[in-house]
A and B are shown apart, each in its own frame.
Chain A
Amino acid sequence: MEELKYTAANYKSDQSVRWCPGCGDHAILNSLHKAMATVGIAPHKTAVISGIGCSSRLPYYMNTYGFHTIHGRAAAIATGFKVANPEMTVWQISGDGDGLAIGGNHFIHAVRRNIDLNMLLLNNKIYGLTKGQYSPTSDRGFVSKSSPYGTTEDPFIPAELVFGARGNFFARSIDVELATTQEVLVAAAQHKGASVVEILQNCVIFNNGIHNYITDKEFRAERTIHLRHGEKMIFGKEGNMGLVQDGFLLKAVEIGKDGYTMDDVLVHDAHCKSNFLHQQLAMMDGHELPLAVGVIRDVEGLTYNEEIEKQVAEVKAKKNFSSLRDMILAGETWEVK
């Protein structure tokens, strides 16, 4: 990696930021600027590609190459971009509606292909730009303008889609936790392949407080756990709670109580090939078990873009032509004199 020669300011554009005051996106944007400076890829070697929605305005606030595209298609456009110009570091920004409803197909296929994109999913469980309809991550029964009597459908849990699509990287943060967001964004950038980062984000206008159960300062330490590779899975204000294995499932215990000691507490292995435990960790929602933030899964795999480059080089090396004309002449031809 290059030395730290950029600061967050190098990644900020001169456009005034137009999100609502108090919107969680402001904090995420700041974390992204800082993460980019930490990673140290030059702004002109960075591209930020978004779809449509509040979060998708983000490219305008970056001093990098950027493309604010159309609803749902950011992952597909970013895929073509990365394949065409693999030297660029590509960030793809979507919201829960953009990425998981209209763009759900592109989302799962980008993850499945394992193309080297840093895919940010800003999850506020609502359509903000169209003024308050339920989204594919809204809880069953959620009341909104388009579900006045409550929704009658279950939501997606983004991590579950990522694992279903055989994803190799999944991390989570919360908009108000700037340091964690920055930490997972840096990890996502450093991971080769599709890196999905879900950030729980508050929509102050249409869904204010939707993540309060998790984010409330009074309970946050009990209702979240910050996972770090190689470290014990402990949480709580006093750091005295831990996750232990309970048959095939996980259980939260108080260390020193009911016979549980620190030795019983699991150590987080983000690099484990099997996603069995990662999936259980990612599915914890803050109720019986704390919601996991940090890098939950980070496994190396073959990337789509590198494999294409490799194949091009291999196939080219086997042929003794390098232009269209020579390729045609190497096939079946006849001459008219």
Chain B
Amino acid sequence: MLEKTNVKVLDKVVVRFSGDSGDGMQLAGNIFTNVSAGVGNQVSTFPDYPAEIRAPQGSLSGVSGFQVSVGTGVYTPGDQADVLIAMNPAALKQNVKFLKPGGVIIVDIDSFKESDLKKALFETDQPFKELGITAQVVEVPVTSMTKAALAESSLDNKSVLKCRNIFALGLVCWLFDRPLESALQHLKNKFAKKPAIFEANAKVIQAGFDYGHNIHASVSTYRVETETARPGKYTDINGNTATAWGLIMASEKAGRPLFLGSYPITPATDILHELAKRKDLGVKACQMEDEIAGVCSAIGASFAGNLAVTSTSGPGLALKSEGIGLAVMAELPLVIIDVQRGGPSTGLPTKTEQTDLFQALYGRNGESPLAVVAPASPTDCFDMAFEACRIAVEHMTPVILLTDAFIGNGSSAWRIPEADEYPEIKPNYVPEELKATWRPYMRDEETKVRYWAIPGTEGCAHRLGGLEKDYNTGAISTDPVNHEKMVYTRKEKIDHIAKDIPALEVLCNPDADTLIVGWGGTFGHLYTAAEEMNKAGKNVAFAHFRYINPLPANTAEVFAKYKRVVVAELNTGQFADYLQAKFPEVKISRINKVQGQPFLVKEIIDGVTKIMEEK
């Protein structure tokens, strides 16, 4: 079938679904992603949805988008889309800027009536001309075709219209040669409890697929390469789920039950949702009365002997500050997850940023150091959530895990690890031989890690608290010299973690003069940019930080090899400032973006190129 049509062979393609926030674009996008992952593609997704659950229908503020890149060498959801699906004029207006030159736009032409254009604030009745669109536009009567497909169905009109997204999905499946059987299976799972809805969607997806086949003469058809990945079982996973699962893996490896104290907040709530489901693995996830109770219940659970976690986003982290300070002082293991969003204040709740770095590092009263780690991608959320737990438990400290909306909501194919792939986590329990003389702040003299006595253990009853304690006895102390000693002890304990984390790796072209530096969720864009620059003959090395405090022990050594270090981040330069303060001799240049959106690969290439051209 395909050889008769005009087929483009690409190693990866980017598709962007867009429509009203009630149009089911996230569902269509998710199914397309899963189907693609199922045929062996690498996938990376970027849901871009409004803060309003249901803004006025057809309005510009109510547009919801879902971008996915599928194929090989996929590390980002792509800067721009090869194919844009716009279910109405507002979606077209908001999303046309994400289309690649030479890309294709598919619109539901039934939704381009005069009243629809008005809602999207078009001034003329020629929306494509008004937007200056020169790309190929495929006008598909999605609404009427969906209605026709369901003419004999018993569904009411409203339910019929809800199937429009699946018609579009059917069309996109045809376009990319995706097997409908797999899509049908996903729909079946989704509507397991609503057989009538499943039946309707099954008809509609077939209708969309057939429609694509029937009009093939007028569109380019794409085929997408499949990746030869490491053998094993795979599943599609988003960053928030990966985070939740990483915590569970850590709980299994540490032999301590998992407790989550949380409060709903965008874009972190999915972690609470997933862990609430995992009562089937013995996880206790408590939705508390506020953010403060979220962290405080976790602190109580930690004192009680659980692997304790609280999850939130920026404003919630601010509310938790005092509690985190208590965990610093009581030297209890605690993992705090901040899925960063645009700030300050309520800011851009559904958008991504890296602007909470300083808050994580410094946002507490007194000298209160703690460990900070940041995953690089959706799947890396699993590994770094595990690492956060390992560091917390083995070093008796709170650890902040800084993810962001982009990797939290974005998804990738993930190889399910074998049972023995992750190391045992060894809590620093009070050694048997010390029990007779043990005091609560007694610590390992080298690592400065204090011992953990689980309540209920006979002979280890002890009192902790937020007041300063005597280094030797653990009793309350206001002695000035003791206080200073305790301040430095807590600092040394955190610094010492550097000996227990992997060294910083240099990727791409290590012999170049210029080192691109990033941290956290920007890895995919920065890595792709560095690779493309090297391919184009502009030599650059790339180092990405996942351990923020302490930094890997070889950081200074790595920096010393390069003429210039370019730090690219989604804020006004917080990591650059942090590095500059630690390594004043290094010449640091900066690339910054604070738009609530991820980097574009092009922005990084342009930025680094410009810096390299300077003297």
On chain B, the residues within 8 Å of A78 by CB distance are: 300
CB <8 Å contact, A44 and B457: yes
| Measured CA separation A84–B300 after assembly (Å) | 8
CB <8 Å contact, B282 and A316: yes
Interface presence of A60 (CB below 8 A)? yes
Interface presence of A152 (CB below 8 A)? no
| Measured CA separation A15–B306 after assembly (Å) | 28
CB <8 Å contact, B416 and A328: yes
CB <8 Å contact, B296 and A69: yes
Report if A323-B300 is in contact (Cβ < 8 Å); known contacts: A45-B456, A76-B293.
Answer: no
Contact partner of A323 (CB less than 8 A), chosen from B233, B235, B419, B461, is: B419
Contacts A81-B300, A325-B419 aside, 17 further interface pairs with beta carbons under 8 A come to A42-B458, A44-B457, A44-B458, A66-B464, A76-B292, A77-B297, A79-B286, A84-B300, A88-B304, A88-B455, A109-B288, A308-B284, A324-B249, A327-B281, A331-B235, A332-B189, A335-B231
Q: Report the nearest A residue to B235, measured CB to CB.
A: A333
Q: Is the interface of B mostly helix, strand, loop or mixed?
A: mixed
CB <8 Å contact, B296 and A80: yes
| Measured CA separation A68–B326 after assembly (Å) | 10
CB <8 Å contact, B292 and A66: no
User: Using a CB-CB cutoff of 8 Å, which residues 530-587 of chain B contact chain A?
Assistant: none
- Indicate the size class of the contact surface on chain A: 35 or more
On chain B, the residues within 8 Å of A52 by CB distance are: 466
On chain B, the residues within 8 Å of A321 by CB distance are: 280-281
13 A-B contacts (beta carbon < 8 Å)? A60-B476, A65-B455, A67-B465, A73-B296, A84-B302, A88-B456, A308-B286, A315-B280, A316-B280, A324-B245, A327-B278, A328-B245, A336-B231
Contact partner of A69 (CB less than 8 A), chosen from B40, B234, B299, is: B299
Interface presence of A106 (CB below 8 A)? yes
| Measured CA separation A336–B226 after assembly (Å) | 11
CB <8 Å contact, B455 and A80: no
- Indicate the size class of the contact surface on chain B: 35 or more
| Measured CA separation A319–B280 after assembly (Å) | 7
CB <8 Å contact, B462 and A65: yes
Residues of B within 8 A of A (CB): 34, 37-38, 40, 186, 189, 228-236, 245, 248-249, 252, 257, 259, 261, 278-282, 284, 286, 288-290, 292-293, 296-306, 308, 322-323, 325-326, 330, 415-419, 454-467, 475-476
On chain A, the residues within 8 Å of B261 by CB distance are: 76, 80
On chain B, the residues within 8 Å of A316 by CB distance are: 279-282
CB <8 Å contact, A87 and B456: yes
CB <8 Å contact, A84 and B304: yes
CB <8 Å contact, B34 and A332: yes
On chain A, the residues within 8 Å of B418 by CB distance are: 325
On chain B, the residues within 8 Å of A337 by CB distance are: 231
CB <8 Å contact, B463 and A66: yes
CB <8 Å contact, B281 and A324: yes
Contact partner of A84 (CB less than 8 A), chosen from B289, B301, B459, B460, is: B301
Contact partner of A325 (CB less than 8 A), chosen from B259, B305, B416, B454, is: B416
Report if A105-B235 is in contact (Cβ < 8 Å); known contacts: A88-B456, A324-B248.
Answer: no
| Measured CA separation A67–B286 after assembly (Å) | 21
| Measured CA separation A142–B397 after assembly (Å) | 44
On chain B, the residues within 8 Å of A43 by CB distance are: 461
Shortest beta-carbon distance, B432 to chain A, in Å? Answer: 16
CB <8 Å contact, A79 and B293: yes
Shortest beta-carbon distance, A80 to chain B, in Å? Answer: 3
Q: Report the nearest A residue to B257, measured CB to CB.
A: A84
Shortest beta-carbon distance, B35 to chain A, in Å? Answer: 10
CB <8 Å contact, B465 and A105: no
CB <8 Å contact, A65 and B231: no
On chain B, the residues within 8 Å of A79 by CB distance are: 286, 288, 293, 297, 300
Q: Report the nearest B residue to A316, measured CB to CB.
A: B280
On chain A, the residues within 8 Å of B415 by CB distance are: 336
User: Using a CB-CB cutoff of 8 Å, which residues 29-74 of chain A contact chain B?
Assistant: 42-45, 47, 49, 52, 59-60, 62-70, 73
CB <8 Å contact, B464 and A332: no
Shortest beta-carbon distance, A61 to chain B, in Å? Answer: 9
CB <8 Å contact, B304 and A76: no
CB <8 Å contact, B233 and A334: yes
Shortest beta-carbon distance, A215 to chain B, in Å? Answer: 31
